[in-house]
Amino acid sequence: MNARILDTTLRDGEQTPGVSLTPDEKLRMALKLDELGVDVIEAGSAITSIGEREGIKKITSEGLSTEICSFARAVKVDVDAALECDVDSVHLVIPTSDLHIKYKLKKTRETVKDLAIESTQYAVDHGLLVELSAEDSTRSDIDYLTQVFKEGIDAGAKRICACDTVGMLTPEKAYEFYGHLSKLDAPLSVHCHNDFGLAVANSLSGLRAGASQAHVTVNGIGERAGNASLEELVVSLYSLYGVKTNIKIGMLYEISKMASRLTNVPLQPNKAIVGENAFAHESGIHADGVIKKAETYEPITPELVGHKRRFVMGKHIGSGLLKKRLEEMGLRVDDEKLNQIFTRVKALGDKGKCVTDVDLQAIAEDVLGIVAEKVVELEELTIVSGNKITPTASVRLNINNNEVLEAGIGIGPVDAAIVAVKKSIADFADIELEQYHVDAITGGTDALIDVIVKLKHEDQIVTARSTQPDIINASVEAYLSGINKILSDKKDIKKIKEGDL
């Protein structure tokens, strides 16, 4: 059995509150979805706006191998807008529950059925493939719903879709509901919403019951609690049911990150399959098991979906993982030193701290009696900032006994200080600030500020941290700490030490 995938990230997914994609962003996402291997891309609702039609036209002009579809209500003006965009098909939607018919449409059942049939015939006569879809179908009278679908098929609809619009199904009800509709003379789609967290489970039940296509969105985005998640559904089909799709599973993490960036909808860390913690381990028992054989605590490998495994240092860490991490950092320790490092990492974890690689390096070097060599030291920092004054910073650095003075401006005092430091080291190291994160650890105006930075130099990325009452000093100290870590690891450090700046 093969299951087809209709991706509606660009239509139902874009209905996520606060999400609005430009035509170019829609095109970028569509190109990636085509590469991923979805069978149908619902590119939007052509009737919505001029910009929406522009986005759909950009997609259809690319000549993608994927079927390009537009959402349409059961009215001719919607179908005409879709035709203008040169789509392959329309997802023609008509409400079928008495709740929608009476209170939203204010029509009769017969009138609504006639609209569905007329619109289907009109779209088919104009060369469009029609997927006739019943909105709020799971709260509809089953006999009426069946009749609408039967007459729609007779009018030329090639596929039918039953939408669980407010996520009211359970897996048991989904199996019975979609099983009944799968006996009709057209391929059936499941379209499930996640109001009770059951969208993927209900979609799987619908496919098991005889449906052949599922409507999904990347990361499960969509109105309210979202839609069935593409990555969760596809990997569940593959790993748990042995059902194939045309999806390139190894691209799932990549497209998840892309969708999150374009929509500005952050991904929860514990999101199944693609979350940053999906393959992260801290517990000593779990980490030890994964190191020995990944299957002990991972149902699938991270590589399957293009993800990476990572181990987190914290109070749950085991000594085996700690020793392995130290060895990866080039540090060899005996049992006594390992136990000392282990105790200090646990103590930090008990205080609620996440132990970064930089923290671990510092702890290990302290325990081993290794003093990290500071190539760059801050001698003086001056900040000028105020109302209608461009924030300016001047720094005096000691770079291996050579004094360097530099100044910088920025959008704020922290930015100005970082700019000044970066200019000071620009002659011998191009170090980019990849991430900057700040937290107030304690309350009040004298709160301790915890600054974490991630720096990149060539192919090396390091994390550094500083905790101080002053955010500017903490930011500069964290930045310099990361710089020193990078420079001390470089083979060309001799040039710096000899004053060849």
Q: Order of strands, edge to edge, in the sheet holding 389-399?
A: 376-386, 389-399, 402-409
From the list 178, 267, 269, 258, the residue with the least C-alpha distance to 220 is 267
pLDDT of residue 354: 63
Give the percent of the chain with pLDDT over 90: 62
Strand pairing partners for 94?
A: 134
User: What are φ and ψ of residue 27, in 5° steps?
Assistant: -65, -45
pLDDT of residue 501: 43
Res 255 pLDDT > 60: yes
The residue that leads in pLDDT, 425 or 139, is 139
255 and 197 in a common domain: yes
SS3 call for 395: strand
Of 40-54, 304-318, 423-437, the least confident: 304-318
336 and 191 in a common domain: no
Domain holding 296, by residue range, is: 280-368
Length in residues, the chain = 501
Tell me the per-residue pLDDT of 341-388, one tens digit each, with 9 for 90 and over. 888 787 776 766 666 666 677 677 767 765 556 788 899 999 998 888
392 and 361 in a common domain: no
Position 155: which residue type?
Answer: A
Strand pairing partners for 355?
A: 313
User: What are φ and ψ of residue 182, in 5° steps?
Assistant: -70, -15
Q: Domain of 407: which CATH number?
A: 3.30.160.270
From the list 490, 368, 373, the residue with the least C-alpha distance to 431 is 490
321 and 420 in a common domain: no
226 and 284 in a common domain: no
pLDDT of residue 210: 98
Res 494 pLDDT > 60: no
From the list 407, 410, 404, the residue with the least C-alpha distance to 427 is 404
Measured CA to CA, the distance from residue 282 to residue 284 in angstroms comes to 6
33 and 106 in a common domain: yes
96 and 51 in a common domain: yes
- E strands of 48-158, at which residues? 67-73, 89-95, 129-135
Phi-psi region of 284 (alpha: psi -120 to 50; beta: other; left: phi over 0): alpha
pLDDT (mean) for 416-442: 83
Measured CA to CA, the distance from residue 98 to residue 113 in angstroms comes to 12
Res 493 pLDDT > 60: no
Measured CA to CA, the distance from residue 61 to residue 124 in angstroms comes to 21
Res 284 pLDDT > 80: no
H or E, element range at 477: helix 471-489
